[in-house]
Structure 1
Amino acid sequence: MCDRSAERAFIGSFTSAGGRGIISAAVDGSTGALKETGATDAVADPSYLAIGATDRGRVLYAVSETTEGAVAAFDITEDTAAPRLIGVPAPVRGAGPTHLAVVGGHVLTANYTCGSVSVLPVGPDGEPSAAVGVLRHEGRGPHPQRQRGPHAHQVLPDPTGQWILDVDLGTDSVGVCELDPATGDMSLHRETALRPGTGPRHLTFHPSGRHAYVINELEPTLTVCRWDASEGVLEALGETTVLPGGFAGPGYASEAAVAHDGRFLWVANRGHDSIAVLGLDASGARAELITTVPCGGHWPRDLTLDPTGTRLYAANERSGDVTWFDIDARSGVPRRAGSIAAPAASCVVFA
């Protein structure tokens, strides 16, 4: 478990909504405060970011969440004011990539608009090439506007690195996939159907690796799942609300983070503009809503736990800021500690 403080953070944003692209920030190790050092708008709408590494140094990857869809790579080996673009953005052969993950020698993207997952090879310097494999989803859900077809929203490896999980909001399902590292081909191993109309958005794992938690966007709930890495089986166990009773809505959960010790789970709620605090039992098989606290802004699109596990960072898209919170170790309740301006903020990652 990494317990050191990060030295740098990178904030993604929507340039089409007034964002500045990717903002670089220094991190104060004692307070968690962010201080902007520079920005780059070298790629349009870098809404989601991920950190990778090559033999030559560290690389920041960004989706370009546009109709054409692309992935850009930035050199962050040196502590410069802003990251330097490597080569040119590579097409993903899909529309509206909204999430990406670095897996071995590839970058994978979840393409929301067209409902597919793309596999892009990465060169020695970290530059991605055009997608060599595209896994296309099929199906729809009951929501008349949001689920007319598949909408891949997240792709990530499981804790063992053996499987790739693929969360689809449009089909109310999570795919368990296999990636061939030699060819870049990705195939569906098994698909887990979740309750129709919930609209699964993102997934995160318990530290034990034996349970996973799916955040649902269309209904503000958390689906607790059992994960069997030996067989590649994800099994839904039950749902827990992430909003307090009496809230009339609408509310749209966006992201979750799990405590390093597995005692708590936090969920960002758009509309309610809050962070939900959930308690987890010792096994991770049960979750219970404890309370909610204000997110520090409006429309928290992303929620990130820092490497020390003691602070949360909310990217508040519509109020244009990133707010950070100190976490009470006993209760799990976040306490607002500061914020930084970041127009149309969409995510935060640490290096």
Structure 2
Amino acid sequence: MSTEQRAYRAYIGSFTEAGGAGITVADVDRDTGALTPRYATDEVANPSYLALSPGGDVLYAVSETDEGAAAAFRTGDDPARPLTLLGAPVPVHGAAPTHLALAAGHLLTANYGSGSVSALPVDDDGGLGEPTAVLRHEGSGPNRERQGEPHAHEVLPDPSGGWLLGVDLGADAVWVYEPAGPRAHRKVRLRAGSGPRHLAFHPRGDRAYVVNELDPTVTVCRWDAASGTLEPLGETRVVPPGTDTATFPSEAAVSPDGRFVWVASRGHDSVATLALDTPGDRMELVTTTPCGGHWPRDLALDPSGSRLYVANERSGEVTWFALDPTTGVPSRDGSLEAPAASCVIFG
């Protein structure tokens, strides 16, 4: 059933090994943004990242374990069981998958532990098959503790649907793939030691903002969908000058009108509001706002684009914020207890 036919839901992923409930399904109050939990399942270990099918009828989850797996759930309107597991989790042939996305009839996983991207076929019912391809990254970075080998952290399609991008923290690089296969198209090197983790696209689709985990910055990139070219343009820090707290940015979201970017940072435990110029080539740090907890691993805009939700992993809650339409600055509205929360998506 579409979100137009019912109040939309939030799906919250978590680390079961740290006391998380697994996947929590919550109703979202359209007027206040408040979350009301309705159901939880721990059928999959460490479902740290989630993704919905385009129609919202299937929910996909990674199992971020040493063995690495992915799972599919049928969504439904039965309040007693809104998620039904579609078969056993399928091994991804990669360790510690941290992210997943759908493209070209496959579920793609970014496998942090093995520095690889796996492609699992999706059948007509939304279920998953064994991987048909595992693409292994190469390279390392100057941070010996974190960058001794590749660590793929995110994989996602570009807005045109013509390319896949794999963000690798260990190799200081973004891989561009052709979806068919998938096949490697090019490797884009970013600043050594920056530790790229995730990226978010401008709503126009011609700019990308790469969140760097090992240095609290965002790299602004020009994206050419015609050629599959990602060109770094510059960097902006996401914490104020003089900040001496160890800071590890995690995720970014871009406003639907392309005026603002928000970045969550662990350690500093903040959400940075960054203002974009009209082309999207330059960003300026407006302010940072406390994230409402500790260790914000993920953030996401609700479908209206007027509220921001932050998954605070170590303090165990999802906090939501109203966004000032003029300044973009978040204002805390409430929170929901969610132990070891790792991501939140809507559908």
Identify the TM-score tier after normalising by the shorter chain: over 0.9
Match of 2:147 in 1: 147
Please state whether the residue corresponding to 1:339 is helix, strand or coil.
strand
User: How many Å separate the matches in 2 of 1:233 and 1:274?
Assistant: 32
Mapping of residues 295-306 of structure 1, within 5 Å: 295-306=291-302
Match of 2:178 in 1: 178
Please state whether the residue corresponding to 2:17 is helix, strand or coil.
helix
Per-residue Cα deviation, 1:102-148 (whole angstroms, up to 9, x for no partner): 11321000000000000000111111111110000011110011000
| Structure 1: stretches of 5+ with no match in the other structure | none
Q: In structure 1, what residue type is equivalent to 2:114?
A: C
Match of 2:42 in 1: 41
Deviation for aligned residue 1:255: 0.2
Q: In structure 1, what residue type is equivalent to 2:192?
A: P
User: How many Å separate the matches in 2 of 1:5 and 1:149?
Assistant: 46
Mapping of residues 1-351 of structure 1, within 5 Å: 7-53=8-54, 58-81=57-80, 82-180=82-180, 185-351=181-347
Per-residue Cα deviation, 1:44-95 (whole angstroms, up to 9, x for no partner): 00000000157xx710000000011111101113353441111111110100
User: How many Å separate the matches in 2 of 1:93 and 1:14?
Assistant: 20
CA RMSD of aligned residues (A): 1.5
TM-score, normalising length: structure 2: 0.97
TM-score, normalising length: structure 1: 0.96
| Structure 2: stretches of 5+ with no match in the other structure | none
User: How many Å separate the matches in 1 of 2:156 and 2:141?
Assistant: 22
User: How many Å separate the matches in 2 of 1:324 and 1:104?
Assistant: 33
User: How many Å separate the matches in 1 of 2:185 and 2:54?
Assistant: 28
Per-residue Cα deviation, 1:179-201 (whole angstroms, up to 9, x for no partner): 21xxxx21110111000000000
Q: Is the 8 A contact 1:4 1:307 kept in 2?
A: no
User: How many Å separate the matches in 2 of 1:217 and 1:245?
Assistant: 17
Q: In structure 2, what residue type is equivalent to 1:48?
A: Y
Q: Is the 8 A contact 1:53 1:126 kept in 2?
A: no
Q: Is the 8 A contact 1:4 1:308 kept in 2?
A: no
Q: In structure 2, what residue type is equivalent to 1:141?
A: G
How many residues align structurally? 344
Q: Is the 8 A contact 1:5 1:308 kept in 2?
A: no
Q: Is the 8 A contact 1:167 1:201 kept in 2?
A: yes
User: How many Å separate the matches in 2 of 1:278 and 1:6?
Assistant: 31
Report % sequence identity: 62
Deviation for aligned residue 1:258: 0.3
Q: Is the 8 A contact 2:65 2:95 kept in 1?
A: yes
Deviation for aligned residue 1:6: 5.7
Deviation for aligned residue 1:19: 0.4
Q: In structure 1, what residue type is equivalent to 2:26?
A: A
Q: 1:80 to 1:130 in 2, by over 3 A?
A: farther
User: How many Å separate the matches in 2 of 1:23 and 1:3?
Assistant: 21
Please state whether the residue corresponding to 1:307 is helix, strand or coil.
coil
Q: Is the 8 A contact 1:6 1:350 kept in 2?
A: no
Please state whether the residue corresponding to 2:88 is helix, strand or coil.
strand
User: How many Å separate the matches in 1 of 2:207 and 2:32?
Assistant: 32
Q: Is the 8 A contact 1:6 1:306 kept in 2?
A: no
Deviation for aligned residue 1:239: 0.3
Please state whether the residue corresponding to 1:24 is helix, strand or coil.
strand
Q: In structure 2, what residue type is equivalent to 1:222?
A: V
Q: Is the 8 A contact 2:140 2:171 kept in 1?
A: yes
Q: 1:338 to 1:279 in 2, by over 3 A?
A: same
Please state whether the residue corresponding to 1:126 is helix, strand or coil.
coil
Q: 1:4 to 1:303 in 2, by over 3 A?
A: farther
User: How many Å separate the matches in 2 of 1:169 and 1:4?
Assistant: 40
Q: Is the 8 A contact 1:3 1:307 kept in 2?
A: no
